[in-house]
């Protein structure tokens, strides 16, 4: 029996582009890049450069987004680069949330992004500038890599450009500017690209590139890494499950031997990947075993609601709004899932065309996308909040004993209990970042099909015009191109502009961040005193009564400039020990609070009176000076540093 007929992943090797829309007279040329590809990639670069100039003109001292997660991410990237260069064994024992273990695993490690961050940081020594470069490079790489995938499946440069715009600049991605690990989905398209090429051509190079891009995505975003893993499994089952089963039933052991002979390369590559994953994921597994896992109720509140697909970020120029039914719409929300009307229309047409034309390859992406969408709804299907507005997140964390109607159990609920990784994920709605790839590819299929139809319909007209004499048709000169073709081409050319208009933010929330000698004096003092002895900064969030835990992200950031572990910190997870310490020193400088500080060998206390909430009270200066357990070490304006007498 012919191998190409029995091994399903060879079924499209001859065509090179699967069963994508074909241009009959230019099939071979469509697979080779030309000046159009260079033009479209240059346009992607120009868009990203325009974003940087428009939204963060002070690229060395401000970042897009609300402060808390960008500050955490800037610190994480700086910690990654500095520690890997000077003390790699200490990578996971980060200085936040002292004395808890493996604190880097409490949030995204961003090691993949650190590869982009490192050269800019090492050259400039400015963490804000380096972060901004990673931020904008993520948009650019999302566009370029989606272009590669769509170009591969359609052979059409313009269709690939449309896919790149959708994937890189969709309203959903723009709404996630606070979360670099959600923006950074750049390796997902090329992981799919090289998986497909590996299965068709079986080359070491393709398997190795697939493994590289898969690992880069996992390192850039644990969320996307886990989502990508299960999405790839779903894709393989939809794509090859039925053919493999049929061939197995028909040929039995002979087919199994053929598969095993073809599996040498992927087995070797996946063995290497598994070893790397075991090393990288062990700290997360240990943290999960120590209680870091997310409750099912948290997944419910951070799932996609059906109504969320009607909401974009408030700063979206065309579709944004600050209120809905009197409820404020928060900038920092996981419930801004609007995809864009143009994207949804092109996707719907693409689904219709794929099913009508029986395109097996692209049809697989439809079922994969449907699976992603179902899982994005989280443990139970919820239509909307009571007000209809997006759910406002914020401390204290909203917990729903009864989720919003219709509360129908969804696949996530089962996966939470049986599939590895799901208990560490809080936000099922972030699956929309993976779904964007499917939508972009289906939209590209629509554009490629329409372009092919135009070429095929116009060819007879041009042939007739070339062979028909005008003298033979007195009074009826032939138009060079029928008006309907011109209109269709005009609509196609307008689509990129419409996509960008739907995504365009009228403004972005910005956070101004001091660097270098601009940092507060207390941190300059800490940089030269006390070595790496533990400290605590007050106010320290205790159930958000005296300061919001998000404000502690500033404490994260300033550890870039000193070497002290801090008992504070804003991260993806706040352990119980940190809450206990916060409660114990709430009465500082009482004897009980001093005892807690001594018990954990905390040597310095930095007091920021201006950060206390109005409803709380900063420690009285006279009481501080009168305390026998501490002494004043330094003072900069209102801010003071106190040394604990151990």
Residues in contact with 524: Cβ distance below 8 Å, sequence separation at least 6, in sequence order: 517, 561
Residue 514 backbone phi and psi in degrees, to 5: -70, 150
Beta bridge partners of 538: 607
DSSP 8-state class, residue 316? B
SS3 382: strand
Can you read off the two tokens belonging to residue 408? 């129908």
Q: How many CB atoms lie within 10 A of CB 591?
A: 10
Q: What pLDDT, on a 0 to 100 scale, did the predictor assign at position 11?
A: 40
CB 340 within 8 A of CB 166: yes
Q: Which residues of the chain have pLDDT under 50?
A: 1-29, 395-399, 469-479
Helices (H), 377-429: 411-418
Pairing of β 535-538 and β 604-607: parallel
User: Using omega within 30 degrees of 0 as the cis cutoff, is the peptide bond preceding 406 cis?
Assistant: yes
Q: How far is CA 84 from CA 81, 183, 184, 572, 628, in A?
A: 5, 24, 21, 22, 41
SS3 string of 157-223?
HHHHHHHHHHHHHCHHHHHCCCCHHHHCCCHHHHHHHHHHHHHHHCCHHHHHHHHHHHHHHHHHCHH
Helices (H), 288-359: 296-301, 341-357
Say how far apart CA 532 and CA 481 lie, in whole Å. 75
Say how far apart CA 567 and CA 588 lie, in whole Å. 15
Q: What's the Rg (C-alpha) of the chain?
A: 28
Residue 573 backbone phi and psi in degrees, to 5: -145, 135
CB 6 within 8 A of CB 244: no
Residue 494 backbone phi and psi in degrees, to 5: -80, -20
Token match 């699976």: residue? 371
Say how far apart CA 482 and CA 93 lie, in whole Å. 68
Angle made by CA atoms 72, 73, 75, in degrees to the nearest 5: 65
Can you read off the two tokens belonging to residue 388? 């209809």
Question: Phi-psi bin for 469: left (phi > 0), alpha (psi -120 to 50), beta?
Answer: beta
DSSP count for the chain of H helices, then E strands: 25, 10
Interior/surface letters 439-455, b for 16+ CB within 10 angstroms, e for the rest: bbbbbbbbbbbbbbebe
Q: What pLDDT, on a 0 to 100 scale, did the predictor assign at position 255?
A: 74
CB 93 within 8 A of CB 561: no
The distance in angstroms from the start CA to the end CA of the chain is 81
Say how far apart CA 180 and CA 312 lie, in whole Å. 18
Interior/surface letters 180-189, b for 16+ CB within 10 angstroms, e for the rest: bbbbbbbbbb
Angle made by CA atoms 389, 394, 400, in degrees to the nearest 5: 70
Say how far apart CA 164 and CA 496 lie, in whole Å. 10
Residue 75 backbone phi and psi in degrees, to 5: -60, -45
Can you read off the two tokens belonging to residue 68? 């808390």
Token match 């139970």: residue? 380
pLDDT, tens digit, 9 for 90 and up, residues 209-242: 999 999 999 999 999 999 999 999 999 999 988 8
The angle that helices 157-169 and 127-154 make with each other, rounded to 10 degrees, is 140
The angle that helices 187-201 and 222-251 make with each other, rounded to 10 degrees, is 20
Q: How many residues does the chain have?
A: 646
SS3 321: coil
Pick the closest to residue 355 from 293, 446, 439, 264 (CA basis).
Answer: 446
Say how far apart CA 146 and CA 228 lie, in whole Å. 15
CB 330 within 8 A of CB 161: no
Q: Is 269 exposed, middle or buried (0-12, 13-18, 19+ CB in 10 A)?
A: buried
Question: Phi-psi bin for 202: left (phi > 0), alpha (psi -120 to 50), beta?
Answer: left
Say how far apart CA 343 and CA 170 lie, in whole Å. 8
Q: What pLDDT, on a 0 to 100 scale, did the predictor assign at position 462?
A: 55
Say how far apart CA 58 and CA 42 lie, in whole Å. 24
- Among positive and negative, which fits the CA dihedral 175, 180, 184, 185? negative
Say how far apart CA 486 and CA 499 lie, in whole Å. 21
Say how far apart CA 591 and CA 589 lie, in whole Å. 7
């Amino acid at each position: 029996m012919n191998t190409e007929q029995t091994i399903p992943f060879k079924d499209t090797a001859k065509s090179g582009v699967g069963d994508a829309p074909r241009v009959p007279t230019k099939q071979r040329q469509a697979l080779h890049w030309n000046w159009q590809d260079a033009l479209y990639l240059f346009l992607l670069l120009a868009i990203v450069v325009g974003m940087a100039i428009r939204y963060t003109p002070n690229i060395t001292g401000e970042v897009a987004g609300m402060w808390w997660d960008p500050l955490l991410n800037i610190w994480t990237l700086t910690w990654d680069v500095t520690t890997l260069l000077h003390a790699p064994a200490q990578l996971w024992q980060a200085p936040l949330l002292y004395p808890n273990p493996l604190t880097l695993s409490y949030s995204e490690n961003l090691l993949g992004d650190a590869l982009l961050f490192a050269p800019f940081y090492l050259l400039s020594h400015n963490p804000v500038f380096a972060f901004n470069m990673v931020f904008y490079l993520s948009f650019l790489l999302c566009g370029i890599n989606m272009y590669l995938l769509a170009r591969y499946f359609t052979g059409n440069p313009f269709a690939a450009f449309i896919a790149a715009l959708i994937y890189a600049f969709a309203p959903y991605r723009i709404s996630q500017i606070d979360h670099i690990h959600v923006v950074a989905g750049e390796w997902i398209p090329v992981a799919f690209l090289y998986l497909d090429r590996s299965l068709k051509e079986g080359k070491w190079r393709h398997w190795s590139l697939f493994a590289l891009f898969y690992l880069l995505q996992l390192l850039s975003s644990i969320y996307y890494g886990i989502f990508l893993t299960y999405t790839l499994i779903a894709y393989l089952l939809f794509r090859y499950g039925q053919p493999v089963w049929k061939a197995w039933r028909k040929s039995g052991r002979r087919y199994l031997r053929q598969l095993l002979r073809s599996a040498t390369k992927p087995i070797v590559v996946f063995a290497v990947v598994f070893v790397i994953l075991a090393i990288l994921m062990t700290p997360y597994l240990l943290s999960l075993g120590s209680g870091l896992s997310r409750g099912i109720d948290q997944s419910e509140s951070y799932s996609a609601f059906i109504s969320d697909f009607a909401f974009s970020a408030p700063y979206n120029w065309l579709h944004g709004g600050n209120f809905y039914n009197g409820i404020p719409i928060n900038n920092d929300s996981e419930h801004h899932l609007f995809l864009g009307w143009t994207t949804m229309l092109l996707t719907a047409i693409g689904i219709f065309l794929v099913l009508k034309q029986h395109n097996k390859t692209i049809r697989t992406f439809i079922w994969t996308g449907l699976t992603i969408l179902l899982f994005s709804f989280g443990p139970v299907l919820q239509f909307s909040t009571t007000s209809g507005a997006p759910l406002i997140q914020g401390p204290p964390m909203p917990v729903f004993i009864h989720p919003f109607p219709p509360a129908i159990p969804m696949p996530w609920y089962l996966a939470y209990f049986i599939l590895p990784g799901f208990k560490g994920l809080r936000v099922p709605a972030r699956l929309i970042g993976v779904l964007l790839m499917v939508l972009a590819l289906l939209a590209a299929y629509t554009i490629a099909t329409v372009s092919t139809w135009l070429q095929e319909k116009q060819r007879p007209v041009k042939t007739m015009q070339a062979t028909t004499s005008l003298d033979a048709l007195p009074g009826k000169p032939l138009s060079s191109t029928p008006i309907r073709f011109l209109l269709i081409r005009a609509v196609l050319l307008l689509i990129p502009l419409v996509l960008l208009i739907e995504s365009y933010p009228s403004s972005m929330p910005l956070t101004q961040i001091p660097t270098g000698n601009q940092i507060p004096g207390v941190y300059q003092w800490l940089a030269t005193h006390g070595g790496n002895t533990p400290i605590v900064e007050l106010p320290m969030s205790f159930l958000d009564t005296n300061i919001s835990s998000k404000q502690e992200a500033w404490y994260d950031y300033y550890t870039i400039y000193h070497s002290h572990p801090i008992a504070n910190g804003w991260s993806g997870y706040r352990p119980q020990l940190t809450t206990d310490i916060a409660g114990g020193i709430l009465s500082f400088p009482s004897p009980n609070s001093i005892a807690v500080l001594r018990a954990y060998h905390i040597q310095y206390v930095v007091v920021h009176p201006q950060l206390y909430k109005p409803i709380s009270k900063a420690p009285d200066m006279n009481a501080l000076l009168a305390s026998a357990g501490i002494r004043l070490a330094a003072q900069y304006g209102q801010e003071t540093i106190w040394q604990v007498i151990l």
